[in-house]
Amino acid sequence: MTGTTTRGTVHLAVYDTFADWETGHATAWLSRGGYGTRTVGPTTAPVTTMGGMRVVPDLALADLNPADSALLILTGADLWETGDDLAPFATAARRFLGAGVPVAAICGATAGLAREGLLDDRAHTSAVPGYLAATGYRGGAHYVEADAVTDGGLITAGPTEPVAFAREVLAQLGVYEGEKLDAWYRLFHHSDAAAYAVLDS
């Protein structure tokens, strides 16, 4: 099934200072699992990632419809900390969740969701509790000290956990489950070579 889009489209938000490393595991293995990925920018103008790569978005945020998507992925970026430029992406996440379409947010994107009120009533995680507390959100009681958390269709993770983030994404969309999901995580997080046999079975 590698390289064949059969199961739907995942939308990956891209914007200036996008943290390149946070979604590579997720998007690569979603592709191998039959999902296509389309990038969504503030507009269709090129953006530059934190690593200096130039990305031309496939579509503008204004044209993004939850009905056309299996998942919205939001990554960290310096822009989450320097103003409200990315707030429309948090608003889009609210629309997705309201439509029953899952959202996955890592690193600074969790702060954007906190400001939007989307973490007030859901179990979640991030870099550290104080990072989200600084947003003034009301969900501190639901903060979980974990590498990644899924609750009510919303996945959250801190900036050092791209593999755990991908694990939750792959589970959410049914790419892997059970022993194979565990083996995938052991292989890429713990370098456990024994996991190959499970993945190939």
Strand locations in the chain (E): 9-13, 36-41, 47-48, 54-55, 59-60, 71-74, 103-106, 148-151, 154-157
CA-CA-CA-CA torsion sign (192, 193, 196, 198)? negative
What are the φ and ψ backbone dihedral angles of 39, each rounded to 5 degrees?
Answer: -90, 145
Residues with catalytic function: 107
What gap in Å lies between CA 80 and CA 78, rounded to an integer?
5
